[in-house]
């Protein structure tokens, strides 16, 4: 049977995405993966055409649609805009461009079971990939919207200066029920940006020492975690390290092995906590990073 145009597009874009993720160390923002594909893969006029109803580029829509196969096959994971290549996915690269997608699709069909309607992927992708006529298409749409939402929040936070990000962290801690005793002003802070307690007068233990780093494109090193540990002078002190970026693996190990309790909050965890405690914030706190929840029909899978 001759391959459909959508299948050919999916084969080369999925294969390219997997290799890009592998070269990046296994994970990357989905929008950056797509941009890298745009820079490295050649597309013809049909593949670069915009779908009439959505305005999306055809090859991008096909790629997102078929990433659901890869996720159900265990080759790929998505978490708040980040695409993560699993060990199984990295191994699947060895299958080659054609067999990688074929295997992923077979595993997806096994997971999906008997469909109520026999709709081919060609039919969905060629007509309108945004139509909610299959569970797979719906998942692809929701995944895309989640990525867009995540990227919007990330860009908003990136635009803040270090002191504004510090205020965001303080606002979150207040919403979580902590009492802020001190917030560092401009100038040397001795490695302490925020001091918080579990009671209004600070008479109860522990004292919470917070280090805040606004480094959205960087990994926090183990040395920086060690410096935070050095600021915990009391036996009952607890350290929290918050970054708008990520933590290196040595930094995570340093916090885990530290004699003192040090909690790490990277950007993903920060946004999750902000969403979780958003309803408990006052208007002033909400305005620091305003959100608007939207609910989609889910599934029982």
Q: pLDDT tens for residues 164-213?
A: 999 999 999 999 999 999 998 765 556 789 999 999 999 999 999 999 99
- Cα–Cα distances (Å) from 247 to 29, 34, 164, 223, 244, in that order, read 16, 24, 21, 11, 10
Angle at the Cα of 128 from the Cα atoms of 125 and 130, rounded to 5 degrees: 100
Q: Where are the domains of the chain?
A: 5-158, 162-286
CATH architecture of 162-286: 3-Layer(aba) Sandwich (3.40)
Band the pLDDT of 110: cuts 50, 70, 90.
confident
* Three-class HEC string of 211-226: EEECCCCCEECHHHHH
Q: Average pLDDT for residues 260-270, to the nearest whole number?
A: 95
- Cα–Cα distances (Å) from 171 to 117, 268, 275, 283, in that order, read 49, 17, 12, 11
Averaged pLDDT score across all residues of the chain: 87
Nearest to 217 by CA among 32, 75, 86, 66: 32
Cα atoms found within 13 Å of the Cα of residue 14, Cβ hemisphere only: 33
Band the pLDDT of 112: cuts 50, 70, 90.
low
Res 139: pLDDT: 77
Between these two residues, 205 and 299, which has the higher pLDDT value? Answer: 205
Torsion of CA 143, 147, 152, 155, to 10 degrees: 170
Res 220: pLDDT: 96
Least confident of 27-36, 106-115, 214-223: 106-115
Residue that is written with structure tokens 């919007």 in the block: 152
Nearest to 200 by CA among 180, 176, 220, 221: 180
Angle of the 5-23 helix axis to the 30-40 helix axis, nearest 10:
110
């Amino acid at each position: 049977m001759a391959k459909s145009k959508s299948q050919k597009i999916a084969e080369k874009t999925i294969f390219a995405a997997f290799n890009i993720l592998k070269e990046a160390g296994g994970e990357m923002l989905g929008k950056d993966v797509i941009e890298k594909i745009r820079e490295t893969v050649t597309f013809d006029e049909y593949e670069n055409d915009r779908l009439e109803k959505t305005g999306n580029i055809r090859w991008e829509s096909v790629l997102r649609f078929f990433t659901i196969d890869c996720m159900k096959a265990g080759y790929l994971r998505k978490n708040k805009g980040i695409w993560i290549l699993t060990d199984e996915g990295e191994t699947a690269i060895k299958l080659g461009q054609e067999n990688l997608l074929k295997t992923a699709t077979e595993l997806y069909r096994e997971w999906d079971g008997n469909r109520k309607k026999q709709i081919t992927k060609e039919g969905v992708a060629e007509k309108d990939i945004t139509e909610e006529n299959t569970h797979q298409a719906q998942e692809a749409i929701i995944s895309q919207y989640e990525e867009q939402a995540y990227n919007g929040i990330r860009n908003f936070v990136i635009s803040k200066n270090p002191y504004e990000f510090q205020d965001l962290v303080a606002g979150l801690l207040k919403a979580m029920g902590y009492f802020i005793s001190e917030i560092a002003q401009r100038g040397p802070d001795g490695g302490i940006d925020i001091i918080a307690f579990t009671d209004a007068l600070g008479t109860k233990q522990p004292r919470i020492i917070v280090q805040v780093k606004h480094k959205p494109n960087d990994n926090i090193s183990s040395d920086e975690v060690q410096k935070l540990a050095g600021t915990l002078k009391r036996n009952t002190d607890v350290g929290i390290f918050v970054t708008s970026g990520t933590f290196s693996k040595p930094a995570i190990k340093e916090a885990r092995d530290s004699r003192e309790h040090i909690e790490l909050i990277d950007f993903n965890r920060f946004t999750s906590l902000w969403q979780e405690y958003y309803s408990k914030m006052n208007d002033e706190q909400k305005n620091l990073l305003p959100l608007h929840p939207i609910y989609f029909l889910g599934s029982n899978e």
